């Protein structure tokens, strides 16, 4: 059995065998013939070859077939033939439609044991000189520049293919794998795909600015295009008509959105965890007891600090569990008995100032259930006339049922703290 092995690779070179200016219709083919069982070169052997040009694949339709008799190998088993110069069996070599693409060359060899298939290989690039003979409308003979217009620009996320749709053959560009950023060089039209790892991927989009013919005089793509717009939108403007495609599916999945003027990023749906995999809050920070978990500063000082299981407000953490630097202000509620007689303390009320006016109504303040606010402190200050302020408790006060009255003859300030299911206790009175 015989097989062929290329010296380095199969060589496809166009050689001139005619004296006129037409493209020579030959393709050089060179290989080494070896015995498949021993691997020994077939030296100085007389062999017979059959060359077939197939379209559509290695087992595709035979477009052209020829034979070469009395081919002699040299002392290294090397031999050469010119495809297109043998004895024609079927087809016409000069009429092969090279522009249609996907052509394969199959070679069969007879070294005395009959023809044996030595394999097939694809023409990975069009034989340009031969294609020049078969190409149509080389100089755009219709002289109509409008038929060069781009019809559409599409991107298919599944295949990562960017397609320029136009008359004739579309231009397809592979954009590669998931990337982290996109940039476009306006001078070279090279699209840079920033991705993880040591190297980025570059895609040359300059073919999107070239027509299908050989003329550079009828291209209508506006100067300065293609461009990459905010939001990873690739735009081509041809004859003042814009074609845009969204390349965002190329980007790595992002959990953040950006506002329209690109001054902020945000997330409205997810919890964010720092040091924790499954945060239970919109922002959850988890660390060791000695970690500096949180620190917020302005230009002048520390505003908030959390470290070593301690909290510092207006300063770095101190020796106490909570340490505050600077003044502290509390919200308060101001009430009056002028036309109003009742007030029920709400969940955010802590300090109440009751201004009693002469001739006003007796004022009633209803204290909430203690069990709803364990540890909560409420302070009430009565000022003004001697009209009474009655404090109505639904729970015991100082472990006994009572509804104290703040009058002009009694202390004017009372502070109470909830002790849960046991009710309220008096912290302060004057």
The residue to which tokens 């002048």 are assigned: 300
**Per-chain mean pLDDT for the chain:** 78
| Close Cβ partners of 19 (under 8 Å, ≥ 6 residues apart) | none
Tell me whether residue 288 is exposed, middle or buried, using C-beta atoms within 10 angstroms of its C-beta: 0 to 12, 13 to 18, 19 or more.
Answer: exposed
Token pair of 7 as six digits: 């010296």
pLDDT digits (tens, 9 = 90+) for 150-195: 666 676 766 667 777 766 667 676 665 555 566 777 777 777 776 6
Instruction: State which CATH number among 2.40.50, 3.90.79, 2.60.40, 2.60.120 fits the domain covering 332-429.
Output: 2.60.120
What band does 287 get if pLDDT is binned at 50, 70 and 90? Answer: confident
Q: Which of 298, 300, 318 has the alpha carbon at shortest distance from 309?
A: 318
Q: Which of 109, 33, 96, 39 has the alpha carbon at shortest distance from 64?
A: 96
What band does 219 get if pLDDT is binned at 50, 70 and 90? Answer: low
Q: How far apart are CA 173 and CA 184, in angstroms?
A: 15
Q: Do 2-134 and 332-429 show the same overall fold?
A: no
Q: How far apart are CA 144 and CA 218, in angstroms?
A: 8
pLDDT digits (tens, 9 = 90+) for 332-381: 999 998 888 899 999 889 999 999 888 778 889 999 999 988 999 999 99
- The residue with greater pLDDT, 228 or 415, is 415
pTM above 0.85, yes or no: no
Residue 313 has φ and ψ, to the nearest 5°, of -115, 120
What are the structural domain ranges in the chain?
2-134, 145-250, 272-324, 332-429
- The residue with greater pLDDT, 86 or 246, is 86
| Close Cβ partners of 119 (under 8 Å, ≥ 6 residues apart) | 3, 4, 106, 107
Q: Topology of 2-134 in CATH?
A: Immunoglobulin-like (2.60.40)
pLDDT digits (tens, 9 = 90+) for 10-46: 333 333 333 333 445 788 888 888 877 777 888 999 9
Contact 417, 402 (CB under 8 A): no
Contact 114, 133 (CB under 8 A): no
Contact 219, 239 (CB under 8 A): no
Predicted local distance difference test score (pLDDT) of residue 242: 85
Predicted local distance difference test score (pLDDT) of residue 89: 92
Give the DSSP letter string of 32-73.
EEEETTT--B-TT-EEEEEEEEEESSTTSEEEEEEEEEEEE-
Q: How far apart are CA 273 and CA 276, in angstroms?
A: 5
Predicted local distance difference test score (pLDDT) of residue 18: 34
What band does 70 get if pLDDT is binned at 50, 70 and 90? Answer: very high
Buried b (16+ CB within 10 A) or exposed e, 312-324: beeebbeeeeebe
Count CB neighbours of 192 within 10 A: 16
């Amino acid at each position: 059995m015989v097989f062929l092995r290329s010296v380095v690779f199969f060589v496809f070179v166009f050689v001139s065998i005619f004296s006129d200016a037409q493209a020579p219709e030959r393709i050089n083919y060179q290989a080494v013939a070896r015995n498949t069982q021993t691997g020994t070169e077939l030296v100085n052997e007389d062999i017979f070859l059959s060359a077939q040009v197939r379209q559509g694949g290695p087992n595709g339709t035979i477009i052209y077939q020829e034979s070469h008799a009395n081919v002699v190998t040299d002392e290294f088993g090397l031999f050469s033939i010119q495809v297109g110069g043998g004895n024609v069996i079927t087809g016409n070599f000069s009429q092969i439609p090279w522009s249609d693409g996907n052509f394969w060359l199959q070679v069969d060899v007879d070294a005395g044991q009959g023809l044996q298939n030595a394999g097939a290989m694809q023409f990975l690039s069009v034989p340009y000189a031969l294609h020049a003979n078969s190409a149509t409308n080389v100089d755009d003979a219709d002289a109509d520049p409008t038929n060069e217009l781009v019809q559409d620009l599409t991107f298919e996320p599944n295949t990562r293919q960017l397609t320029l749709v136009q008359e004739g053959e579309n231009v397809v560009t592979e954009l590669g794998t998931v990337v982290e950023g996109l940039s476009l060089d306006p001078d070279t039209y090279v699209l840079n795909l920033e991705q993880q790892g040591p190297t980025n991927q570059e895609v040359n989009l300059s073919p999107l600015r070239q027509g299908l013919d050989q003329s550079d005089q009828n291209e209508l793509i506006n100067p300065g295009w293609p461009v990459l717009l905010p939001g990873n939108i690739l735009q081509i403007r041809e004859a003042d008509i814009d074609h845009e495609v969204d390349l965002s599916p190329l980007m790595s999945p992002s959990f953040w959105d950006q506002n329209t003027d690109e001054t902020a990023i945000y997330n409205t749906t997810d919890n964010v965890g720092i040091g924790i995999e499954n945060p239970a809050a919109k922002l959850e920070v988890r660390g060791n007891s000695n970690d500096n978990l949180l620190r917020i500063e302005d230009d002048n000082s520390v505003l908030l600090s959390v470290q070593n299981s301690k909290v510092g407000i207006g300063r770095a953490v101190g020796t106490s569990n909570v340490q505050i630097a600077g003044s502290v202000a509390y919200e308060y509620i101001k009430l009056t008995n002028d036309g109003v007689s009742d007030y029920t303390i709400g969940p955010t009320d802590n300090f109440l100032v009751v201004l009693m006016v002469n001739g006003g109504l007796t004022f009633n303040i209803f204290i909430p259930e203690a069990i709803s606010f364990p540890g909560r402190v409420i302070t009430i200050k009565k000022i003004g006339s001697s009209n009474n302020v009655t404090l109505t408790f639904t729970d015991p006060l100082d472990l006994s049922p009572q509804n104290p009255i703040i009058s002009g003859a009694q202390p004017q300030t009372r502070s109470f703290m909830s002790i849960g299911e046991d009710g309220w206790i008096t912290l302060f009175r004057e």
